Structure 1
Amino acid sequence: MDLDLSCHLSIITGETDRAGLAPILGGLREMGYRRAVLAPMDEGATDAAALRAVFVEAGIAPITMCGQGPGADVSSSDAAERAAGAATLRASVDFAVRVGADQINGVPYGLFGRPVHPLAPAAFERSAREVGVVADYAADHGVQLTFEVLNRYEEAAINTAAQAMEYVSASGSDNLGIHLDTFHMAIEEADMNEAIRHALPHLRYLELGQSGRGLLSTGSLDIPGVVAAALDDGYGGRIGVEAFSRPLLARGVADMLSIWRSPFQDGLEVAADAVRVIRKGWAESGPGRRARRLSRAGA
Protein backbone atom coordinates (compact mmCIF):
# COMPACT_ATOMS: atom_id res chain seq x y z
CA MET A 1 0.00 0.00 0.00
CA ASP A 2 1.91 3.03 -1.27
CA LEU A 3 -0.04 5.88 0.34
CA ASP A 4 1.27 9.08 1.91
CA LEU A 5 -0.20 8.70 5.41
CA SER A 6 -0.12 11.29 8.17
CA CYS A 7 -1.14 10.99 11.83
CA HIS A 8 -2.19 13.93 14.00
CA LEU A 9 -0.06 13.79 17.14
CA SER A 10 -2.97 15.02 19.27
CA ILE A 11 -4.27 11.46 19.00
CA ILE A 12 -1.33 10.34 21.11
CA THR A 13 0.35 13.17 22.99
CA GLY A 14 0.70 16.90 23.50
CA GLU A 15 4.43 16.65 24.14
CA THR A 16 7.04 18.15 21.83
CA ASP A 17 10.25 17.32 23.71
CA ARG A 18 12.74 14.89 22.21
CA ALA A 19 12.38 12.21 24.91
CA GLY A 20 8.62 12.11 24.61
CA LEU A 21 8.33 12.38 20.83
CA ALA A 22 11.12 10.09 19.63
CA PRO A 23 9.50 6.72 20.48
CA ILE A 24 6.10 7.91 19.26
CA LEU A 25 7.43 9.06 15.91
CA GLY A 26 9.41 5.85 15.54
CA GLY A 27 6.30 3.80 16.22
CA LEU A 28 4.30 5.74 13.65
CA ARG A 29 7.03 5.26 11.06
CA GLU A 30 6.98 1.50 11.65
CA MET A 31 3.22 1.47 11.11
CA GLY A 32 3.66 3.08 7.70
CA TYR A 33 3.09 6.76 8.41
CA ARG A 34 5.30 9.19 6.54
CA ARG A 35 4.21 12.33 8.39
CA ALA A 36 2.92 13.55 11.74
CA VAL A 37 0.87 16.69 12.37
CA LEU A 38 1.97 18.88 15.25
CA ALA A 39 -0.65 20.57 17.40
CA PRO A 40 -0.70 24.39 17.40
CA MET A 41 2.13 25.70 19.54
CA ASP A 42 3.93 28.86 20.63
CA GLU A 43 6.23 29.05 17.64
CA GLY A 44 8.39 31.80 19.14
CA ALA A 45 9.06 29.76 22.28
CA THR A 46 9.71 26.47 20.47
CA ASP A 47 13.21 25.18 19.73
CA ALA A 48 12.61 24.51 16.04
CA ALA A 49 16.07 23.03 15.47
CA ALA A 50 15.62 20.46 18.24
CA LEU A 51 12.14 19.60 17.03
CA ARG A 52 13.40 19.20 13.48
CA ALA A 53 16.18 16.90 14.69
CA VAL A 54 13.83 14.46 16.41
CA PHE A 55 11.74 14.17 13.23
CA VAL A 56 14.82 13.62 11.09
CA GLU A 57 16.10 10.92 13.44
CA ALA A 58 12.74 9.14 13.32
CA GLY A 59 12.61 9.27 9.52
CA ILE A 60 9.22 10.97 9.48
CA ALA A 61 8.26 14.48 8.33
CA PRO A 62 6.29 17.10 10.30
CA ILE A 63 3.22 19.04 9.25
CA THR A 64 2.65 22.23 11.22
CA MET A 65 -0.48 24.25 11.99
CA CYS A 66 -1.47 27.88 11.63
CA GLY A 67 -4.29 30.12 12.75
CA GLN A 68 -5.45 33.61 13.62
CA GLY A 69 -6.14 35.39 16.89
CA PRO A 70 -7.75 38.53 18.29
CA GLY A 71 -6.14 41.54 16.67
CA ALA A 72 -4.63 39.41 13.91
CA ASP A 73 -7.40 38.38 11.53
CA VAL A 74 -7.13 38.43 7.73
CA SER A 75 -10.91 38.69 7.38
CA SER A 76 -11.14 41.90 9.43
CA SER A 77 -12.35 45.18 7.96
CA ASP A 78 -9.48 46.89 9.82
CA ALA A 79 -6.37 47.13 7.65
CA ALA A 80 -3.96 46.93 10.59
CA GLU A 81 -5.67 43.81 11.90
CA ARG A 82 -5.53 42.19 8.46
CA ALA A 83 -1.83 43.04 8.18
CA ALA A 84 -1.21 41.51 11.60
CA GLY A 85 -3.08 38.38 10.54
CA ALA A 86 -1.01 38.06 7.37
CA ALA A 87 2.18 38.59 9.36
CA THR A 88 1.15 35.79 11.74
CA LEU A 89 0.67 33.45 8.80
CA ARG A 90 4.02 34.36 7.26
CA ALA A 91 5.66 33.70 10.62
CA SER A 92 4.02 30.25 10.60
CA VAL A 93 5.52 29.62 7.17
CA ASP A 94 8.96 30.61 8.46
CA PHE A 95 8.51 28.30 11.45
CA ALA A 96 7.48 25.43 9.15
CA VAL A 97 10.69 25.91 7.16
CA ARG A 98 12.80 25.90 10.35
CA VAL A 99 11.19 22.72 11.63
CA GLY A 100 11.47 20.95 8.27
CA ALA A 101 7.77 20.87 7.33
CA ASP A 102 6.63 21.16 3.72
CA GLN A 103 2.95 21.61 4.61
CA ILE A 104 0.88 23.77 6.95
CA ASN A 105 -2.66 22.83 7.97
CA GLY A 106 -5.12 24.81 10.02
CA VAL A 107 -7.52 27.73 9.84
CA PRO A 108 -5.67 30.62 8.18
CA TYR A 109 -8.83 32.36 6.98
CA GLY A 110 -10.15 33.82 10.25
CA LEU A 111 -10.87 33.30 13.92
CA PHE A 112 -11.66 29.76 15.04
CA GLY A 113 -14.62 29.28 17.37
CA ARG A 114 -18.36 28.90 17.52
CA PRO A 115 -19.78 31.53 15.14
CA VAL A 116 -22.74 33.73 16.06
CA HIS A 117 -23.54 35.09 12.60
CA PRO A 118 -22.75 34.35 8.93
CA LEU A 119 -19.52 35.68 7.48
CA ALA A 120 -20.12 38.72 5.30
CA PRO A 121 -19.17 38.30 1.62
CA ALA A 122 -16.74 41.21 1.90
CA ALA A 123 -14.93 39.48 4.78
CA PHE A 124 -14.74 36.28 2.70
CA GLU A 125 -13.13 38.19 -0.15
CA ARG A 126 -10.69 40.07 2.13
CA SER A 127 -9.62 36.85 3.80
CA ALA A 128 -9.14 34.99 0.52
CA ARG A 129 -6.95 37.73 -0.98
CA GLU A 130 -4.70 37.88 2.09
CA VAL A 131 -4.37 34.11 2.39
CA GLY A 132 -3.67 33.79 -1.33
CA VAL A 133 -0.67 36.09 -0.98
CA VAL A 134 0.62 34.03 1.96
CA ALA A 135 0.08 30.80 0.00
CA ASP A 136 2.34 32.15 -2.73
CA TYR A 137 4.90 33.19 -0.09
CA ALA A 138 4.75 29.66 1.34
CA ALA A 139 5.19 28.08 -2.10
CA ASP A 140 8.27 30.22 -2.68
CA HIS A 141 9.68 28.64 0.49
CA GLY A 142 8.77 25.07 -0.47
CA VAL A 143 5.69 24.88 1.78
CA GLN A 144 2.12 23.95 0.85
CA LEU A 145 -0.44 26.06 2.72
CA THR A 146 -3.81 24.36 3.14
CA PHE A 147 -6.99 25.45 4.87
CA GLU A 148 -9.37 23.09 6.63
CA VAL A 149 -13.09 23.10 5.87
CA LEU A 150 -14.92 22.98 9.23
CA ASN A 151 -18.51 22.35 10.23
CA ARG A 152 -21.01 25.09 11.06
CA TYR A 153 -20.52 24.73 14.83
CA GLU A 154 -16.83 25.62 14.61
CA GLU A 155 -16.65 28.12 11.75
CA ALA A 156 -18.95 30.25 9.59
CA ALA A 157 -16.56 31.12 6.77
CA ILE A 158 -16.16 27.85 4.87
CA ASN A 159 -18.27 24.77 5.59
CA THR A 160 -18.42 22.88 2.27
CA ALA A 161 -16.16 21.78 -0.55
CA ALA A 162 -18.04 24.11 -2.91
CA GLN A 163 -17.31 27.08 -0.64
CA ALA A 164 -13.68 25.96 -0.41
CA MET A 165 -13.36 26.01 -4.19
CA GLU A 166 -14.90 29.49 -4.25
CA TYR A 167 -12.37 30.60 -1.64
CA VAL A 168 -9.43 29.29 -3.69
CA SER A 169 -10.77 31.12 -6.74
CA ALA A 170 -11.17 34.34 -4.75
CA SER A 171 -7.62 33.99 -3.40
CA GLY A 172 -6.06 34.45 -6.83
CA SER A 173 -3.43 31.86 -5.91
CA ASP A 174 -2.60 28.61 -7.67
CA ASN A 175 -0.73 27.49 -4.55
CA LEU A 176 -3.51 27.38 -1.96
CA GLY A 177 -4.67 23.88 -1.04
CA ILE A 178 -7.91 22.50 0.39
CA HIS A 179 -8.06 20.25 3.46
CA LEU A 180 -11.24 18.15 3.75
CA ASP A 181 -12.13 16.13 6.86
CA THR A 182 -14.70 13.32 6.90
CA PHE A 183 -15.90 14.31 10.40
CA HIS A 184 -16.89 17.77 9.19
CA MET A 185 -18.14 16.59 5.80
CA ALA A 186 -20.53 14.18 7.50
CA ILE A 187 -22.27 17.20 9.01
CA GLU A 188 -22.22 19.54 6.02
CA GLU A 189 -22.14 17.57 2.77
CA ALA A 190 -25.10 15.81 1.14
CA ASP A 191 -22.65 13.44 -0.61
CA MET A 192 -19.20 13.15 0.89
CA ASN A 193 -17.67 11.39 -2.12
CA GLU A 194 -19.07 14.00 -4.49
CA ALA A 195 -17.64 16.74 -2.27
CA ILE A 196 -14.19 15.15 -2.55
CA ARG A 197 -14.55 14.89 -6.31
CA HIS A 198 -15.56 18.55 -6.51
CA ALA A 199 -12.49 19.66 -4.54
CA LEU A 200 -10.01 17.38 -6.34
CA PRO A 201 -8.35 20.13 -8.42
CA HIS A 202 -7.14 21.80 -5.22
CA LEU A 203 -7.44 19.00 -2.65
CA ARG A 204 -4.09 18.59 -0.91
CA TYR A 205 -5.10 16.84 2.31
CA LEU A 206 -7.88 14.33 2.96
CA GLU A 207 -8.33 13.75 6.67
CA LEU A 208 -10.18 10.77 8.10
CA GLY A 209 -12.09 11.20 11.34
CA GLN A 210 -14.95 9.11 12.70
CA SER A 211 -18.35 10.34 13.87
CA GLY A 212 -17.46 9.93 17.55
CA ARG A 213 -13.87 11.18 17.22
CA GLY A 214 -12.61 7.68 18.12
CA LEU A 215 -11.14 4.71 16.24
CA LEU A 216 -11.75 4.77 12.49
CA SER A 217 -13.10 1.20 12.72
CA THR A 218 -15.90 2.26 15.10
CA GLY A 219 -18.49 4.84 14.14
CA SER A 220 -21.18 5.67 11.62
CA LEU A 221 -18.90 6.68 8.74
CA ASP A 222 -17.82 4.23 6.04
CA ILE A 223 -14.17 5.23 6.07
CA PRO A 224 -12.95 2.37 3.80
CA GLY A 225 -15.61 3.38 1.30
CA VAL A 226 -14.46 7.01 1.36
CA VAL A 227 -10.84 5.95 0.83
CA ALA A 228 -11.72 3.62 -2.04
CA ALA A 229 -13.89 6.23 -3.78
CA ALA A 230 -11.26 8.96 -3.43
CA LEU A 231 -8.55 6.74 -4.89
CA ASP A 232 -10.85 5.61 -7.71
CA ASP A 233 -11.58 9.26 -8.51
CA GLY A 234 -7.88 9.97 -8.87
CA TYR A 235 -6.90 11.40 -5.52
CA GLY A 236 -3.19 10.81 -5.01
CA GLY A 237 -2.43 13.25 -2.21
CA ARG A 238 -1.83 12.92 1.48
CA ILE A 239 -4.26 11.10 3.74
CA GLY A 240 -4.43 12.14 7.37
CA VAL A 241 -5.85 10.51 10.49
CA GLU A 242 -7.43 12.45 13.36
CA ALA A 243 -9.14 11.43 16.61
CA PHE A 244 -9.49 13.05 20.02
CA SER A 245 -9.83 11.76 23.57
CA ARG A 246 -10.10 14.15 26.51
CA PRO A 247 -7.40 12.60 28.77
CA LEU A 248 -4.79 12.93 26.00
CA LEU A 249 -5.44 16.63 25.33
CA ALA A 250 -4.62 19.76 27.22
CA ARG A 251 -7.78 20.86 29.01
CA GLY A 252 -8.03 24.14 27.09
CA VAL A 253 -7.72 22.34 23.76
CA ALA A 254 -10.29 19.71 24.76
CA ASP A 255 -12.73 22.42 25.80
CA MET A 256 -12.18 24.43 22.62
CA LEU A 257 -12.88 21.35 20.46
CA SER A 258 -15.82 20.20 22.63
CA ILE A 259 -14.10 16.92 23.45
CA TRP A 260 -16.00 15.89 26.58
CA ARG A 261 -15.62 12.12 26.33
CA SER A 262 -12.80 9.57 26.27
CA PRO A 263 -13.43 7.31 23.25
CA PHE A 264 -9.96 5.77 23.61
CA GLN A 265 -7.02 5.61 25.99
CA ASP A 266 -4.22 4.39 23.70
CA GLY A 267 -3.47 6.75 20.82
CA LEU A 268 -0.96 4.43 19.20
CA GLU A 269 -3.65 1.76 18.93
CA VAL A 270 -5.88 4.32 17.22
CA ALA A 271 -3.07 5.01 14.74
CA ALA A 272 -2.57 1.28 14.10
CA ASP A 273 -6.31 0.72 13.71
CA ALA A 274 -6.43 3.57 11.18
CA VAL A 275 -3.78 1.92 9.02
CA ARG A 276 -5.85 -1.27 8.95
CA VAL A 277 -9.00 0.66 7.99
CA ILE A 278 -7.21 2.61 5.26
CA ARG A 279 -5.65 -0.58 3.94
CA LYS A 280 -9.14 -2.07 3.62
CA GLY A 281 -10.26 0.92 1.58
CA TRP A 282 -7.14 0.76 -0.57
CA ALA A 283 -7.72 -2.96 -1.20
CA GLU A 284 -11.26 -2.22 -2.39
CA SER A 285 -10.11 0.52 -4.78
CA GLY A 286 -9.08 0.16 -8.39
CA PRO A 287 -5.45 1.15 -7.65
CA GLY A 288 -5.32 -1.37 -4.81
CA ARG A 289 -6.70 -4.20 -6.92
CA ARG A 290 -4.25 -3.42 -9.71
CA ALA A 291 -1.34 -3.38 -7.27
CA ARG A 292 -2.33 -6.78 -5.91
CA ARG A 293 -2.64 -8.26 -9.42
CA LEU A 294 0.80 -6.93 -10.34
CA SER A 295 2.23 -8.26 -7.10
CA ARG A 296 0.83 -11.74 -7.78
CA ALA A 297 2.05 -11.64 -11.37
CA GLY A 298 5.56 -10.78 -10.22
CA ALA A 299 5.61 -13.38 -7.45
Structure 2
Amino acid sequence: MKIGIHSMVWVGDWNADAAREAISKSAETGYDLIELSAIAPETFDTALTAKLLEEYGLECSASLGLGPDTDISSEDDDAVARGRERLHLALNLVRDCGGTMLCGVIYGALMKYSHPATERGLDNSRRVLAELADKAKESNISLGLEFCNRYETNVMNTTAQTLEFIKSIGRDNITAHLDTYHMNIEEHSIAGAIRQAAAAGKLGYVHVGESHRGQLGTGSINWTEFLGALKEVEYDGIVTFESFSSKVVHSTFSNDLAIWRNLWDDNVELAKGARQFIREHLGA
Protein backbone atom coordinates (compact mmCIF):
# COMPACT_ATOMS: atom_id res chain seq x y z
CA MET A 1 0.00 0.00 0.00
CA LYS A 2 1.18 3.50 -0.84
CA ILE A 3 0.05 6.52 1.17
CA GLY A 4 -0.41 9.74 -0.79
CA ILE A 5 -1.34 13.34 -0.17
CA HIS A 6 -3.18 15.79 -2.42
CA SER A 7 -0.99 18.62 -3.70
CA MET A 8 -3.55 21.23 -2.65
CA VAL A 9 -2.77 20.56 0.98
CA TRP A 10 0.42 22.46 0.15
CA VAL A 11 -0.15 24.78 -2.80
CA GLY A 12 -2.96 26.18 -4.92
CA ASP A 13 -1.05 26.59 -8.18
CA TRP A 14 1.83 24.72 -9.81
CA ASN A 15 5.03 26.54 -10.75
CA ALA A 16 8.70 25.89 -9.98
CA ASP A 17 8.56 27.15 -6.38
CA ALA A 18 5.19 25.54 -5.67
CA ALA A 19 6.30 22.21 -7.12
CA ARG A 20 9.40 22.07 -4.91
CA GLU A 21 7.42 23.09 -1.84
CA ALA A 22 4.67 20.52 -2.38
CA ILE A 23 6.95 17.63 -3.29
CA SER A 24 9.55 18.29 -0.60
CA LYS A 25 6.93 18.68 2.15
CA SER A 26 5.12 15.54 1.05
CA ALA A 27 8.35 13.58 1.42
CA GLU A 28 9.33 15.24 4.68
CA THR A 29 5.98 14.42 6.29
CA GLY A 30 6.27 10.74 5.42
CA TYR A 31 4.19 10.23 2.29
CA ASP A 32 5.02 7.86 -0.57
CA LEU A 33 3.12 9.70 -3.28
CA ILE A 34 1.75 13.11 -4.21
CA GLU A 35 -1.50 13.48 -6.12
CA LEU A 36 -1.01 16.28 -8.63
CA SER A 37 -3.99 18.52 -9.26
CA ALA A 38 -4.25 18.59 -13.05
CA ILE A 39 -6.88 21.33 -13.31
CA ALA A 40 -4.71 23.01 -15.95
CA PRO A 41 -2.34 20.25 -17.17
CA GLU A 42 -1.02 22.44 -19.98
CA THR A 43 0.66 24.71 -17.41
CA PHE A 44 2.80 21.97 -15.84
CA ASP A 45 6.53 21.83 -16.37
CA THR A 46 6.56 18.04 -16.51
CA ALA A 47 10.34 17.76 -16.83
CA LEU A 48 10.84 19.77 -13.64
CA THR A 49 8.09 17.90 -11.83
CA ALA A 50 9.56 14.53 -12.80
CA LYS A 51 13.02 15.67 -11.70
CA LEU A 52 11.72 16.81 -8.29
CA LEU A 53 9.82 13.56 -7.79
CA GLU A 54 13.01 11.62 -8.43
CA GLU A 55 15.04 13.93 -6.17
CA TYR A 56 12.70 13.41 -3.23
CA GLY A 57 11.90 9.76 -3.90
CA LEU A 58 8.18 10.26 -4.44
CA GLU A 59 5.70 8.68 -6.83
CA CYS A 60 2.74 10.55 -8.28
CA SER A 61 -0.80 10.26 -9.49
CA ALA A 62 -2.92 13.02 -10.97
CA SER A 63 -6.55 14.02 -10.66
CA LEU A 64 -8.88 16.65 -12.01
CA GLY A 65 -12.51 17.59 -12.31
CA LEU A 66 -13.85 18.76 -15.63
CA GLY A 67 -15.88 21.97 -15.86
CA PRO A 68 -19.01 23.07 -17.73
CA ASP A 69 -16.95 24.08 -20.76
CA THR A 70 -15.08 20.73 -20.83
CA ASP A 71 -17.97 18.45 -19.82
CA ILE A 72 -17.67 15.19 -21.77
CA SER A 73 -21.09 14.10 -20.44
CA SER A 74 -22.63 17.09 -22.20
CA GLU A 75 -24.66 17.07 -25.41
CA ASP A 76 -22.56 20.03 -26.58
CA ASP A 77 -20.07 18.62 -29.08
CA ASP A 78 -17.67 21.54 -28.57
CA ALA A 79 -17.59 21.03 -24.79
CA VAL A 80 -16.99 17.31 -25.31
CA ALA A 81 -14.12 18.05 -27.68
CA ARG A 82 -12.53 20.46 -25.20
CA GLY A 83 -12.94 17.92 -22.42
CA ARG A 84 -11.32 15.21 -24.52
CA GLU A 85 -8.36 17.49 -25.17
CA ARG A 86 -8.04 18.34 -21.46
CA LEU A 87 -8.09 14.68 -20.47
CA HIS A 88 -5.41 13.72 -22.98
CA LEU A 89 -3.19 16.55 -21.69
CA ALA A 90 -3.68 15.23 -18.16
CA LEU A 91 -2.86 11.71 -19.31
CA ASN A 92 0.35 12.99 -20.90
CA LEU A 93 1.19 14.67 -17.59
CA VAL A 94 0.85 11.38 -15.71
CA ARG A 95 2.91 9.55 -18.32
CA ASP A 96 5.71 12.13 -18.40
CA CYS A 97 5.94 12.27 -14.60
CA GLY A 98 6.12 8.47 -14.31
CA GLY A 99 2.70 7.96 -12.72
CA THR A 100 0.31 5.06 -13.23
CA MET A 101 -3.08 6.59 -12.30
CA LEU A 102 -5.24 9.40 -13.67
CA CYS A 103 -8.35 9.80 -11.54
CA GLY A 104 -11.04 12.15 -10.31
CA VAL A 105 -14.16 13.51 -11.98
CA ILE A 106 -12.94 12.71 -15.47
CA TYR A 107 -16.32 11.53 -16.77
CA GLY A 108 -18.24 14.83 -16.52
CA ALA A 109 -18.24 18.26 -14.95
CA LEU A 110 -17.64 18.82 -11.24
CA MET A 111 -20.71 20.97 -10.60
CA LYS A 112 -24.30 20.97 -9.43
CA TYR A 113 -26.54 20.06 -12.35
CA SER A 114 -30.14 21.18 -12.68
CA HIS A 115 -31.18 18.02 -14.53
CA PRO A 116 -30.40 14.30 -14.74
CA ALA A 117 -27.72 13.03 -17.08
CA THR A 118 -28.98 12.32 -20.59
CA GLU A 119 -28.38 9.15 -22.55
CA ARG A 120 -26.64 11.07 -25.31
CA GLY A 121 -24.41 12.77 -22.76
CA LEU A 122 -23.57 9.47 -21.07
CA ASP A 123 -22.73 7.94 -24.44
CA ASN A 124 -20.36 10.86 -25.11
CA SER A 125 -18.65 10.24 -21.77
CA ARG A 126 -18.28 6.51 -22.44
CA ARG A 127 -16.86 7.12 -25.89
CA VAL A 128 -14.24 9.62 -24.72
CA LEU A 129 -13.23 7.47 -21.73
CA ALA A 130 -12.91 4.33 -23.86
CA GLU A 131 -10.52 6.17 -26.17
CA LEU A 132 -8.64 7.63 -23.21
CA ALA A 133 -8.32 4.21 -21.58
CA ASP A 134 -6.90 2.72 -24.77
CA LYS A 135 -4.32 5.49 -24.92
CA ALA A 136 -3.55 5.12 -21.21
CA LYS A 137 -2.96 1.39 -21.57
CA GLU A 138 -0.05 2.08 -23.92
CA SER A 139 1.77 3.64 -20.93
CA ASN A 140 0.51 1.19 -18.27
CA ILE A 141 -1.76 3.86 -16.80
CA SER A 142 -5.15 3.19 -15.20
CA LEU A 143 -8.12 5.54 -14.97
CA GLY A 144 -10.02 5.96 -11.71
CA LEU A 145 -13.60 7.26 -11.87
CA GLU A 146 -14.34 9.19 -8.67
CA PHE A 147 -18.05 9.14 -7.99
CA CYS A 148 -19.22 12.21 -6.10
CA ASN A 149 -22.22 13.30 -4.11
CA ARG A 150 -25.41 14.49 -5.81
CA TYR A 151 -24.41 18.15 -5.51
CA GLU A 152 -21.24 17.67 -7.56
CA THR A 153 -22.26 15.32 -10.38
CA ASN A 154 -25.32 13.78 -11.99
CA VAL A 155 -23.45 10.89 -13.62
CA MET A 156 -22.55 8.62 -10.69
CA ASN A 157 -23.07 9.01 -6.94
CA THR A 158 -22.45 5.49 -5.60
CA THR A 159 -20.08 2.58 -5.98
CA ALA A 160 -22.79 0.48 -7.64
CA GLN A 161 -23.45 3.15 -10.28
CA THR A 162 -19.74 3.50 -10.92
CA LEU A 163 -19.22 -0.22 -11.39
CA GLU A 164 -22.13 -0.35 -13.83
CA PHE A 165 -20.74 2.60 -15.79
CA ILE A 166 -17.29 1.02 -15.94
CA LYS A 167 -18.81 -2.24 -17.16
CA SER A 168 -20.64 -0.39 -19.92
CA ILE A 169 -17.36 1.08 -21.21
CA GLY A 170 -15.64 -2.30 -21.37
CA ARG A 171 -12.02 -1.38 -20.64
CA ASP A 172 -10.02 -3.36 -18.09
CA ASN A 173 -7.85 -0.40 -16.99
CA ILE A 174 -10.80 1.70 -15.79
CA THR A 175 -11.40 1.35 -12.05
CA ALA A 176 -13.53 2.81 -9.25
CA HIS A 177 -12.08 5.70 -7.25
CA LEU A 178 -13.68 5.64 -3.78
CA ASP A 179 -13.75 8.79 -1.62
CA THR A 180 -14.92 8.77 1.99
CA TYR A 181 -16.28 12.33 1.83
CA HIS A 182 -18.76 11.37 -0.89
CA MET A 183 -19.45 7.85 0.40
CA ASN A 184 -20.42 9.30 3.78
CA ILE A 185 -23.23 11.18 2.02
CA GLU A 186 -24.44 8.65 -0.53
CA GLU A 187 -23.74 5.03 0.45
CA HIS A 188 -26.06 2.83 2.49
CA SER A 189 -23.06 0.87 3.73
CA ILE A 190 -19.48 2.07 3.40
CA ALA A 191 -18.05 -1.37 4.15
CA GLY A 192 -20.51 -2.98 1.75
CA ALA A 193 -19.48 -0.61 -1.02
CA ILE A 194 -15.80 -1.44 -0.52
CA ARG A 195 -16.56 -5.16 -0.60
CA GLN A 196 -18.61 -4.69 -3.79
CA ALA A 197 -15.81 -2.84 -5.58
CA ALA A 198 -13.21 -5.35 -4.44
CA ALA A 199 -15.35 -8.32 -5.49
CA ALA A 200 -15.67 -6.79 -8.95
CA GLY A 201 -11.89 -6.37 -9.13
CA LYS A 202 -12.36 -2.63 -9.61
CA LEU A 203 -11.19 -1.09 -6.32
CA GLY A 204 -8.49 1.01 -7.93
CA TYR A 205 -7.91 4.17 -5.87
CA VAL A 206 -8.96 5.58 -2.51
CA HIS A 207 -9.33 9.11 -1.14
CA VAL A 208 -9.52 9.52 2.63
CA GLY A 209 -11.13 12.83 3.53
CA GLU A 210 -13.03 13.88 6.62
CA SER A 211 -16.73 14.82 6.56
CA HIS A 212 -15.82 18.53 6.86
CA ARG A 213 -12.68 18.12 4.70
CA GLY A 214 -10.40 18.88 7.67
CA GLN A 215 -8.19 16.67 9.84
CA LEU A 216 -8.93 12.96 9.86
CA GLY A 217 -10.69 11.70 12.96
CA THR A 218 -12.29 15.03 13.85
CA GLY A 219 -15.54 14.69 11.88
CA SER A 220 -18.31 12.13 11.41
CA ILE A 221 -16.71 9.54 9.09
CA ASN A 222 -16.83 6.01 10.52
CA TRP A 223 -13.13 5.31 10.10
CA THR A 224 -13.26 1.98 11.91
CA GLU A 225 -15.74 0.72 9.33
CA PHE A 226 -14.03 2.20 6.29
CA LEU A 227 -10.41 1.38 7.05
CA GLY A 228 -11.40 -1.95 8.55
CA ALA A 229 -13.09 -2.89 5.28
CA LEU A 230 -9.97 -1.94 3.31
CA LYS A 231 -7.98 -4.34 5.51
CA GLU A 232 -10.65 -7.00 5.18
CA VAL A 233 -10.47 -7.01 1.36
CA GLU A 234 -6.66 -6.77 1.52
CA TYR A 235 -6.53 -3.58 -0.51
CA ASP A 236 -2.91 -2.82 -1.37
CA GLY A 237 -3.25 0.14 -3.72
CA ILE A 238 -2.99 3.89 -3.18
CA VAL A 239 -4.68 5.67 -0.27
CA THR A 240 -4.47 9.45 -0.67
CA PHE A 241 -5.27 12.01 2.02
CA GLU A 242 -7.38 14.85 0.66
CA SER A 243 -8.16 18.02 2.60
CA PHE A 244 -8.99 21.54 1.51
CA SER A 245 -8.92 24.93 3.20
CA SER A 246 -9.57 28.35 1.72
CA LYS A 247 -6.13 29.30 3.05
CA VAL A 248 -4.37 27.30 0.34
CA VAL A 249 -6.72 25.89 -2.28
CA HIS A 250 -6.83 27.21 -5.84
CA SER A 251 -9.53 29.89 -6.18
CA THR A 252 -11.41 28.09 -8.97
CA PHE A 253 -11.29 24.80 -7.09
CA SER A 254 -12.44 26.55 -3.91
CA ASN A 255 -15.54 27.77 -5.72
CA ASP A 256 -16.22 24.37 -7.30
CA LEU A 257 -16.04 22.58 -3.94
CA ALA A 258 -17.62 25.36 -1.84
CA ILE A 259 -14.55 25.78 0.38
CA TRP A 260 -15.62 29.01 2.03
CA ARG A 261 -13.63 28.90 5.28
CA ASN A 262 -10.27 27.92 6.70
CA LEU A 263 -10.54 24.39 8.04
CA TRP A 264 -6.87 24.52 9.02
CA ASP A 265 -3.95 26.92 8.92
CA ASP A 266 -0.90 24.72 9.53
CA ASN A 267 -0.61 22.27 6.64
CA VAL A 268 2.50 20.57 8.03
CA GLU A 269 0.71 19.75 11.27
CA LEU A 270 -2.32 18.60 9.23
CA ALA A 271 -0.23 16.32 7.01
CA LYS A 272 1.70 14.78 9.89
CA GLY A 273 -1.51 14.15 11.83
CA ALA A 274 -3.23 12.53 8.86
CA ARG A 275 -0.22 10.32 8.12
CA GLN A 276 -0.10 9.15 11.74
CA PHE A 277 -3.86 8.49 11.71
CA ILE A 278 -3.58 6.34 8.58
CA ARG A 279 -0.55 4.50 9.94
CA GLU A 280 -2.32 3.67 13.21
CA HIS A 281 -5.48 2.39 11.51
CA LEU A 282 -3.95 0.55 8.56
CA GLY A 283 -0.50 -0.29 9.81
CA ALA A 284 0.79 1.25 6.59
Aligned counterparts, 1:100-115, within 5 A: 100-115=98-113
Contact 2:41 2:86 in 1 (8 A): no
Q: CA deviation at 1:191?
A: 0.6
Aligned counterparts, 1:197-236, within 5 A: 197-200=195-198, 201-236=201-236
Matched-pair identity in %? 30
Supply the RMSD in Å over aligned alpha carbons.
Answer: 2.0
Contact 2:6 2:35 in 1 (8 A): yes
**1:102-150 deviations in Å (ceiling 9; x for gaps):** 2112211112211111112342233123212211211211222112110
Unaligned runs of 5+ in 1: 289-299
Give the counterpart of 2:91 among 69, 93, 114. 93
Q: Distance in 1 between matches of 2:73 and 2:252?
A: 25
**1:48-80 deviations in Å (ceiling 9; x for gaps):** 111211111111022122443455433233555
SS of alignment partner, residue 62 of structure 2: strand
Does 2:87 match 1:62? no
Q: What does residue 193 of structure 2 align with?
A: 195
Q: Distance in 2 between matches of 1:67 and 1:253?
A: 9
- CA separation of 1:78/1:56 partners in 2, compared to 1, >3 Å: closer, same or farther? same
- CA separation of 1:127/1:41 partners in 2, compared to 1, >3 Å: closer, same or farther? closer
Q: How many residues get paired? A: 282
Q: What does residue 186 of structure 1 align with?
A: 184
Q: Which is higher, the Rg of structure 1 or of structure 2?
A: 1
Q: CA deviation at 1:240?
A: 0.9
Contact 1:246 1:262 in 2 (8 A): yes
- CA separation of 1:20/1:78 partners in 2, compared to 1, >3 Å: closer, same or farther? closer
Structure 1 length-normalised TM? 0.87
Q: What does residue 22 of structure 1 align with?
A: 20
Aligned counterparts, 1:127-142, within 5 A: 127-142=125-140
Q: Distance in 2 between matches of 1:111 and 1:250?
A: 17
Contact 1:125 1:170 in 2 (8 A): no
Q: CA deviation at 1:42?
A: 2.7
Does 2:80 match 1:82? yes
Q: What does residue 48 of structure 2 align with?
A: 50
Q: CA deviation at 1:260?
A: 1.2
Q: What does residue 11 of structure 1 align with?
A: 9
Q: Distance in 2 between matches of 1:88 and 1:169?
A: 24
Q: Distance in 2 between matches of 1:212 and 1:66?
A: 20
Does 2:147 match 1:149? yes
Per mean C-alpha deviation after superposition, the further-off stretch among 268-277 and 84-93 is 84-93
Q: Distance in 2 between matches of 1:240 and 1:133?
A: 26
Q: Distance in 2 between matches of 1:28 and 1:63?
A: 13
Unaligned runs of 5+ in 2: none
Contact 2:61 2:102 in 1 (8 A): yes
Q: Distance in 2 between matches of 1:214 and 1:112?
A: 20
Q: CA deviation at 1:24?
A: 4.0
Q: CA deviation at 1:224?
A: 4.1
Q: What does residue 280 of structure 1 align with?
A: 280
Contact 1:70 1:111 in 2 (8 A): yes
Q: Distance in 2 between matches of 1:152 and 1:192?
A: 17
